[in-house]
Structure 1
């Protein structure tokens, strides 16, 4: 058995080694896992930040799209990576709140298995409809839903995702009876709504905005703290008396739990610096999002609050996880 002095020396040696590791960090390429396919809002924001961080840190930040199971596959890979700062990942309301609330056995603990670094961007959600049903605003849509209980469907990018839970809460708050139709991604859902196979669509704004602007979708409400410049005539959920679903989604940067604090601090400082760059801000805004930037503690608090909200929604709406995705 080592003596007390030997243990103290060992602990001191480890502390010195960790400090040296942080001082030399990074000295090789960093992998950023994005738990969704290329082309979506999560991927767009992640790639913008990865490119900027590569320049700021002096090492490549290489994107690895590891999609599947509503983001759970890639998020599990982030949680299980070595906590050395060379594997980072993008966290979303879906991966760190909706999915864990709906499927607690999804392979990771949203609070314990990650070291939050910073919120990167926030994005409005939007409820849009197939224009062919005739409703021009929320009041007309609500009347239409009331006249057709159990006959109207809403599409989302997947079961147990944030938009599924939003749709379930919308159904409860409005006293309507609409049927969830989950798709394996927002792209197929969008196609079916625009063709009239499904009437309603809950989505994040970047995926729907171009189709709204081309009049292939009709926007009804947005989740944001004020009306959007791009959709000035569309009310927020809060304006419509639906404040519980007026929360925007977010995309943040995380590392595996037990990543050294000095590395987390260095990554946070670099992230805040690149988010303040005019060219980065402009690209994020053009994508339909708004740059954020927080301390690790602030982002951790946001994750915890979102998870609690989603757990409450799952409980009150009686939502259960279906591994078939239906």
Structure 2
């Protein structure tokens, strides 16, 4: 009986200690791992939200970029971090759906190894070309691509990234053949598109928007539910008969598995509050993104739906991961 009472006392002490730790959270800087290189959409969204999130939680939020492997290197680092709430990470369709669908031997499980916090933002995808490309609109673009099978290429943030999958879906939907050129992140890929080293890119709008506005890139179609006010002359993929290519991208916030529920609730509440702030919503909107801010369970459901969709696409198209 004495040992039983001692054990019960120890368990109670641990519960109290754990509760106290959660209540004290955060008491030091928080790291958000962005699984892509600086300059891409994931990085832009993380920095816009992270700046205000730190102020809301009362501790600095430090953005750490870990690019490579189409986001898998950074995602694995998030999964393996201590589940104490001081390391969070950005979830994307690439890290939590495309990569797992392409690579069954991936070093992390997109469902079991993470606790979703919230969906931060959604963004349209956009097909852009260098202004030197010999087509002014999508119709002319498609005609040129069909006349030159295998002679044109498209840049992506990496093999089996979301840009790669959108490109493959586009090829399958149009019966075209375009060479895939993978990079270590959207930023480097975008730089080569701007320099005219590659022909086109299926990018997330925020990282391309400033270049579109400056006339350095030509947008031909967007993946969104309607035309954008900022790009009124650019049709959606659905408008031009490519509904399969018309899905937007999303960027969430996740924590390592076993992160305390109370910590998840605190971070979710703070993030949702930040995403409701007019100045944050406007900064995201100006960058081409739409603030979301939903519950952990809602973001978990989004991840599961997208994972299943990508698994079906990989199987249907016979896509296989190639190490580059």
Using structure 1 for the length normalisation, give the TM-score: 0.92
Deviation at 1:217, TM superposition (A): 2.2
Of 237-246 and 157-166, deviating more is: 237-246
What's 2:283 paired with? 283
What's 1:32 paired with? 32
Q: Secondary structure at the residue paired with 1:267?
A: helix
What's 1:114 paired with? 114
**Cα-to-partner distance string for 1:212-260 (whole Å, 9 max, x where unaligned):** 2233322111011111111111111111221122111111111111111
What's 1:273 paired with? 273
Superposition pairs for residues 170-185 of structure 1, below 5 Å?
A: 170-185=170-185
For 1:2 and 1:128, how far apart are their aligned partners in 2? Answer: 73
What's 1:104 paired with? 104
Deviation at 1:190, TM superposition (A): 2.9
Given the alignment of the two structures, is residue 94 of structure 1 paired with residue 94 of structure 2, yes or no? yes
Deviation at 1:135, TM superposition (A): 2.1
Deviation at 1:282, TM superposition (A): 1.9
Q: Where does structure 2 lack aligned partners over 5 or more consecutive residues?
A: none
For 1:241 and 1:252, how far apart are their aligned partners in 2? Answer: 29
For 2:30 and 2:194, how far apart are their aligned partners in 1? Answer: 40
Superposition pairs for residues 136-215 of structure 1, below 5 Å?
A: 136-215=136-215
In structure 2, the CA distance between the partners of 1:59 and 1:230, relative to structure 1 (3 Å rule), is same
What's 1:75 paired with? 75
Deviation at 1:103, TM superposition (A): 1.9
Given the alignment of the two structures, is residue 312 of structure 1 paired with residue 324 of structure 2, yes or no? no
Deviation at 1:269, TM superposition (A): 0.7
**2:128/2:217 contact within 8 Å kept:** yes
For 2:128 and 2:210, how far apart are their aligned partners in 1? Answer: 12
For 1:38 and 1:189, how far apart are their aligned partners in 2? Answer: 12
For 1:15 and 1:148, how far apart are their aligned partners in 2? Answer: 66
Deviation at 1:2, TM superposition (A): 9.9
Given the alignment of the two structures, is residue 248 of structure 1 paired with residue 248 of structure 2, yes or no? yes
**Cα-to-partner distance string for 1:2-46 (whole Å, 9 max, x where unaligned):** 977766555544433332222222222222212222232212221
In structure 2, the CA distance between the partners of 1:194 and 1:61, relative to structure 1 (3 Å rule), is closer
In structure 2, the CA distance between the partners of 1:176 and 1:128, relative to structure 1 (3 Å rule), is same
For 1:190 and 1:22, how far apart are their aligned partners in 2? Answer: 41
In structure 2, the CA distance between the partners of 1:183 and 1:66, relative to structure 1 (3 Å rule), is closer
Deviation at 1:286, TM superposition (A): 2.1
What's 1:299 paired with? 299
Aligned length: 324
What's 2:233 paired with? 233
What's 1:56 paired with? 56
Q: Where does structure 1 lack aligned partners over 5 or more consecutive residues?
A: none
For 2:163 and 2:119, how far apart are their aligned partners in 1? Answer: 20
Deviation at 1:154, TM superposition (A): 1.8
For 1:185 and 1:268, how far apart are their aligned partners in 2? Answer: 27
